[in-house]
Each structure stands twice: as structure tokens, then as C-alpha cells.
Chains A and B, each alone.
Chain A
Amino acid sequence: MRVKMRIRRFNPEKDSKPWWGEYEVEVEPTDRVLDALHQVKWYQDGTLTLRRSCAHGICGSDAMVINGRNALACKVLMRDVGKVCVVEPLRGLPLIKDLVVDMEPFFAKYRAVMPWLVNDEIPDHGERLQSPEARERYDDTTKCILCAACTTSCPSFWANEHYIGPAAIVQAHRFIFDDRDRAAVERLRILNDRDGVWRCRTVFNCVQACPREIDVTKAIGEVKLAILEAL
């Protein structure tokens, strides 16, 4: 099938502002949007710039806005995008070039929630025990691949770049609800900040955007309740 790719372009060394590039590609209905972007980059315009790596929805490199909605380019099939496929960089993060944005502010927020297990009681031999139910409690949020699709789909984040954002809250949730962890209260304090979890307005764009199908808003809601209980 023939599809028109409308791609938001910006070269920091040449352009003063972004512009739209249009390209025709011939693709299979089962091809990914990433395949179509590669067709443009490899055979039509080598200057098109994007990040990608694993190409099957695990590494989280190629989150972008596809037809007005955040998604991984390697997880959207061409048969689902129609005759025209509009591709833009993620919103709310500084634009570097074409579809590449600066991820550093995003990772800074991730680092702010102490995303590591805190527990010094290590058994002499073997593993710490954890019941399947306790493991299940935080299963959903272990799936996060830090692609930033959720955070950059959030109107609260667009309006306020200091908002810690859904991804960081999801990462905090993964530890707060892990019964092996001992720093839940500290993390809850961090998230109780004015730019913490209370900026969430339950818009649910993050749930729709998450390529790992994490129930992001539920995780945020659980953190809100935990703050009410613990602090």
C-alpha cells in the first residue's frame, strides 16, 4: 500500500523553526511505522534523524507522536495509520533534531525518585523470600521501559516542565509496593512535593500511550493514597 509520511523536521544547524516534510512510501500493511521511517531515511532522505534500536517494543528508543498520539514507532502497524501518517517528536522535551528530543530532563526525574531497592538485610545464604502475591503487587510497574511516552502525553507535564511525570511515579511505585524495600516513606516524601504526584489530574493519556500497557493512572492513584496513609 502507498502511504504519505508527513514528518516534522528540524535541523538545529540550518532551520530556525520546524517544518513538515512529505514522503511517499510503498509498504506492506504489516510493516511498522518504523519500517516506513527507515524507508524514508535509507532510500529517500538520509538526513531524517530518529532513535531506534530493538524494533519490537522493548528498548523504548522510538517513542514519538504518531497521528496525534504517543506510541513506539516499532509497535504501530501501517495498516492502522491510514493513507497519511503524521509523525512528530515527543512533546514537552527540548527538541534536538527531527524526531530526536533531549531525554536528559526525563531521566533526571527518574533518578530523583531513588529508583533502586533499599534493603541492607541480606540473608546469609540464598534469596530473600517473597510470596507470589507480594510479587504480583508491583508486577505492573516493573514493565516500564522508560520510553517517556506517558510523561510526554500528559497535559500537566506540557504546562509545567517541573512536574515529575507519570514515568517517574511508575518507577517509584515499583519500589514503594515491593515488600522487600525499606525506603517507601522517603520516596513518598519526594512525591508529596508540589511538583510531585498531586499534579496528576487523572487525564489517562498516559494509560493510552503506554506501549507496555501499564495502568499508569492506577499506579499514580495508589501512590496518592499511600501518601495520605503514610505521611
Chain B
Amino acid sequence: MGALVETLRYVISYRGTEGHWAWLLHRLSGLGIALFLSMHIISIFSVGLGPRVYNFLHEVLYVSAPAKVLEVFLIFGVLFHAANGMRIIVIDFFPGLGKYQRTIVRIELLVVILVFIPAAIITLQGVL
């Protein structure tokens, strides 16, 4: 546990490059997606508890405003995780591109944001 805390302190306090922060965000978004997936599986299983629980979860809780906000985070996480994963694969196969890694991370972020904004607006439409 102490080692984990120490590592986290290192990660947060190190002034790395774009790659460092992209790596951190990749980890966080990965954790977020995993969390969502387990939630998703649990809520599907709730069908076994009868229609009342299932319907409450899917028609009331999941469409509530706080859930929508969380969904926006999920969209960002999925988009970023996917794009960043692509970036890592590309760099793994073309190591020479590493020279431009700072630019590539910025382009990646730009693409993610461009897709994310309309998606977020659509998601939040019912709530706003």
C-alpha cells in the first residue's frame, strides 16, 4: 500500500511531457471504463430481481441529470482511451514518429474534443 501511495505521489508530482499526462489520463479513463462495464453488467443482472428494480434503474436512475453528466465523462473516457490507444499502437510500429510525440498528443486531444463536443451536447439535450 505504501508503495502504491509513493508511486501515485511520483506520478502526480513529476513534471513530465504530454506523454506523461496522456499516460495518466489513459490509466484513469481505463479504470473509469472498467467501472462502467461492471456497473453495466450488474444492472443487466438486476432483471432477475423483477421488473420494478430493472425499470427503476433504466427508466428513472439512468436518465436522471447526474447520470447524464456521468455519461458525458464516460464518452470522453471512451473517446480518449480509444484515440490514445491508437496513438500508442502507431508509435509502437513507427518508433521514428516519437520525435513528433508532443504534436501527436495535441492532435489526438483536438480530435477527441471535436468528436466529444457534439456527442456531449446530444447526450445532455434532454437534461438542459
Binding site for B on A (CB under 8 A): 65, 67-69, 91-92, 153, 155, 158-159, 201-205, 207-208, 215, 217-222, 224-225
Contacts A218-B96, A218-B98; is A202 near B15 (CB within 8 Å)? Answer: no
**Within 8 Å of chain A (Cβ to Cβ): is B20?**
yes
**Within 8 Å of chain A (Cβ to Cβ): is B120?**
no
Interface residue from B11, B93, B99 paired with A158 (Cβ < 8 Å)? B11
- State whether B15 touches A215 (Cβ < 8 A): no
Query: A208–B23 Cα gap in the complex (Å)?
Result: 15
Given A155-B11, A158-B7, A205-B20, 5 other A-B contacts at CB below 8 A? A68-B13, A203-B16, A204-B20, A204-B101, A207-B98
**Within 8 Å of chain A (Cβ to Cβ): is B14?**
yes
Interface residue from A69, A202, A203 paired with B92 (Cβ < 8 Å)? A202
Query: A97–B13 Cα gap in the complex (Å)?
Result: 21
- State whether A68 touches B95 (Cβ < 8 A): no
- Give A53 Cβ to nearest chain B Cβ, in Å: 26
Contacts of B14 in A (CB 8 A): 65, 68-69, 91, 153, 155, 205
Interface residue from B13, B17, B92 paired with A221 (Cβ < 8 Å)? B92
Nearest B residue to A156 by beta-carbon distance? B23
- State whether A159 touches B98 (Cβ < 8 A): no
- Give B33 Cβ to nearest chain A Cβ, in Å: 17
Nearest B residue to A217 by beta-carbon distance? B98
Binding site for A on B (CB under 8 A): 6-7, 10-11, 13-20, 23-24, 88, 91-96, 98-99, 101
Contacts A202-B98, A215-B99, A222-B95; is A155 near B20 (CB within 8 Å)? Answer: yes
Query: A213–B14 Cα gap in the complex (Å)?
Result: 19
Contacts of B20 in A (CB 8 A): 155, 203-205
Nearest A residue to B26 by beta-carbon distance? A201
The 7 closest A-B pairs by CB, nearest first: A221-B95, A204-B19, A68-B15, A205-B16, A218-B95, A203-B23, A69-B15
Contacts of B11 in A (CB 8 A): 155, 158
Contacts of B101 in A (CB 8 A): 202, 204, 207, 217
A-B contact pairs, 11 of them (CB 8 A): A153-B14, A153-B16, A155-B10, A202-B91, A203-B19, A204-B19, A207-B17, A208-B17, A218-B98, A218-B99, A224-B95
